[in-house]
A and B are shown apart, each in its own frame.
Chain A
Amino acid sequence: DIQMTQSPASLSASLGETVTIECRASEDIYNGLAWYQQKPGKSPQLLIYNANSLHTGVPSRFSGSGSGTQYSLKINSLQSEDVASYFCQQYYDYPWTFGGGTKLELK
């Protein structure tokens, strides 16, 4: 199985700040990577797919980048509604696997 290592596990940032979350795969996943946002008590919502494509309706302050085994999610100008947990997921090879998650809080 491909292991997905996400960092940091938790993050505290101020409104308006730029935040970056990293995800490392145990082998090359050829951009088969998605990012999800999960607010407390809610189901996950797709933000980014194919490493850098923005899902419909997602604000442009979210962006994804990376290649090979290293990927990142960037949130520009942090808003209060961005407080959530974020998960990466590889879908290059079965079984699909998720990162452990990053909990983002406001400072």
Chain B
Amino acid sequence: EVKLVESGGGLVQPGRSLKLSCAASGFNFNDYWMGWVRQAPGKGLEWIGEINKDSSTINYTPSLKDKFTISRDNAQNTLYLQMSKLGSEDTAIYYCARAPGYSFDYWGQGVMVTVSS
């Protein structure tokens, strides 16, 4: 069974940084691109970006490219999202998802990030 479990969320002050993790199991992590999507409270979905199998290619949505960094550790079957200079507009549920080449076929349960003083 494909399982994706995000962690690392919580309350963070404006301007600070936070790193999310996504632990993958139930499939060969090395064989898949992986991505991140977020959803502000009561809003729609926003694609953050994705990373290829060996981390040689990472694509971001332009508005987040200078704030967010996606990385992965294939030995640990873990995907990461490093977020910096956080603002209230970054308050959202953050989802990791598997990207088989056509959309996102499996999603984690999501982790809440709240940016507030």
Interface, chain A (partner B; CB < 8 A): 1, 32, 34, 36, 42-46, 49-50, 53, 55, 87, 89, 91, 94-101
Given A34-B103, A89-B103, A91-B103, A98 and B47 contact (CB-CB distance below 8 Å): yes
Contacts of A46 in B (CB 8 A): 103-106
Distance in Å: Cβ of A7 to nearest Cβ of chain B: 14
Interface residues on B, range: 20 to 34
CB <8 Å contact, A98 and B46:
yes
Given A43-B107, A43-B108, A44-B107, A49 and B102 contact (CB-CB distance below 8 Å): yes
Q: Taking A89-B47, A89-B103 as given, write out 8 further A-B residue pairs in contact, using a Cβ cutoff of 8 Å, ordered by the A residue number.
A: A36-B103, A43-B95, A43-B110, A44-B37, A94-B59, A95-B61, A99-B44, A101-B44
Contact among B46, B50, B59, B95 for A44, CB-based, below 8 A: B95
Contacts of B26 in A (CB 8 A): none
Chain A residue nearest to B59 (CB atoms) is: A94
CB <8 Å contact, B102 and A50:
yes
Contacts of A1 in B (CB 8 A): 62
B109 within 8 A of A: yes
CB <8 Å contact, A95 and B59:
yes
Contact among B62, B108, B109, B110 for A95, CB-based, below 8 A: B62
- A-B contact list, 19 entries, CB within 8 Å: A1-B62, A34-B103, A34-B104, A42-B109, A44-B37, A45-B107, A46-B104, A46-B105, A49-B102, A49-B103, A53-B102, A87-B44, A87-B45, A89-B45, A94-B59, A95-B60, A95-B61, A100-B44, A101-B44
